[in-house]
Structure 1
Amino acid sequence: MKAAVLVIDMLNDFVTGKLGNERVRSVIDPLQHLLERARASGVPVVYIGDAHLPSDPEMAVWGPHAMKGTKEAETIPELAPQPGDTVLEKRTYSAFYETGLDLLLRSLGVDTVVITGLHTNICCRHTAADAFTHGYKIIVPEDCVNAFTEEEHREGIAYLRRVYGARITTSEELAREWEREPQTAATKA
C-alpha cells in the first residue's frame, strides 16, 4: 500500500489574488511541514493547479482566474514544488479530470491519496469524488485544507467523511505515522 500527497490549487490567485482570502493562509504552515515529512518518507507529492483557458466552463461561474501561463496560476512561493515533485494542470474542479493523475498514481503503485489545498467544498470535494470512483482510499488532513468560509469548510469535511469514507486527520498525525512507518503509514484509512 502506498500514498501520495495531492496539493490542489495552492496558487497565487487563490491565496493573494482575485479569489484569495485570509482564511486560506492557515493551511500554509501545516502543509509545509506535511510536505517535508512526505518527501523525507518517500511519499510522492503531486501538485495539481488550475491553468485555465478562456473557454473553460469555470469562467462562467468564477470569471477569469488562474489563467494558463500567468503568475496567478503559479503555486505560491511558500509551497513551491521541489525536485522530484510532479506538477499537473487542471481545467475543472477535479484534479483527476483529463490531467493524467490517475495514470501517474497507478504507475507509482499508489492506492491512497492525501488531499490537501483548496477549496474543501469545491476542488477537494470533486477530487475526492473521482478518487473514490477510481478506487483510491482518501485521507484529508483537516489543517491542510480550507474554503472561503468556515461553514463551507466544515460542510466539506463532513461530506468527505460521510460520502467517501475519507479518514479525517491532521498534518501532525500523518507526519508522525510517516516517521514510524515510511511510505505506507498513510494507508491506514
Structure 2
Amino acid sequence: MSQSLLTLQIPAPPDPVAVVLDPAKTALLVFDIVDHIAERQPKCREQLAPAVAVFLARVRQLGLLTAYGTRAHNLKTWLPEVAPASGDIEFESKAQDRFYGTELDTMLKAKGITTLILTGWKISGSVTYTSVGATLRGYTVVVPIDATSDATDYEIFVGKYQILNQNSANATNEPLKPKASTLSRTDLITFR
C-alpha cells in the first residue's frame, strides 16, 4: 500500500485596497498595544506601535472617534505613543470580540458610527473576532494590515483569511462591501 502526500496550495490573500471614509461616521478602534503584551511580543512595540501612532495622529486631526479596548484588565498600561487621549472611549472586555458583554455597540451607534477601522494586537485574535462581531451588528469594517500584527507570519495569514471569509464574506476584498470587512493599509485610507 503506497501513501501519497497531498499538497495543498494556499491562495495568497488579495492585496489591500484603497478606501475613502466619512470621518463623521467612522471610528478607530485600538486593541491591546499594552506593556505586558509588548514585553512578550517585540513586534508589538517595535513595529505595530509606531505604525498605529502615525495613523492615530492623522485621524485625531480629523476628529475621528477613537475607542480603546483591552482584555488586560488591571494590566492595561498602553504604550505611550498610542495611549488614549482625553475624549477617547475606553472599555474593558472579557472576550476577543470587543462587542461581547460591553456597551461598545450602544456607544458607537449613539454617535452615528457606521464604519470601523480596527487596529492593534492581534490580527488572528481580537481584530478578527471584533470584525465578526461588528459585521453581525451591521458595521462596515476596514482593517489596515500595517496597523495590526501577530506573533507569527502564519497567524497573520490566518487572521487575514478569516477576516475576509467570515460570516459576511468578502473573499475578493471588495472595497467597503457593506456589513463586511475590507483589508486596506493606512496609506490607502483617505477621508472625504
Q: Does 1:13 align with 2:28?
A: no
Q: Which aligned pairs between 1:76-95 and structure 2 lie closer than 5 A?
A: 76-95=79-98
Of residues 118, 127, 135, the one that matches 2:130 is 127
Shift of 1:24: 2.1
Give the number of the structure whose alpha-carbon radius of gyration is greater.
2
Select 1:41's aligned residue among 62, 65, 72: 62
Aligned residue among 149, 153, 178 for 2:152: 149
Q: Which residue of structure 2 aligns with residue 29 of structure 1? A: 50
The TM-score normalised by the length of structure 2 is 0.77
Identity within the alignment, %: 25
Deviations 1:80-109 (A, max 9, x none): 111121111111111111121000110110
Counterpart amino acid of residue 27 in structure 2: A
Output the CA distance in 1 between the equivalents of 2:99 and 2:35.
Answer: 21
Deviations 1:104-152 (A, max 9, x none): 1101100011010111011111111100100100100000111111110
Aligned length: 156
Structure 2 partner of 1:173: 188
- Normalised TM-score (structure 1): 0.78
Residue of structure 2 aligned with 1:74, choices 72, 77, 88: 77
Between structures 1 and 2, the one with greater helix share = 1
Question: What CA RMSD, in Å, does the superposition of the two structures yield over aligned residues?
Answer: 1.3
* Contact in 2 for aligned 1:23/1:149 (Cα 8 Å): no
Name the aligned partner's letter for residue 82 of structure 2: L
- Unaligned stretches of 5+ in structure 1? 51-65, 182-189
**Structure 2 runs not aligned, ≥5 long:** 1-21, 171-180
Partner of 2:18: none
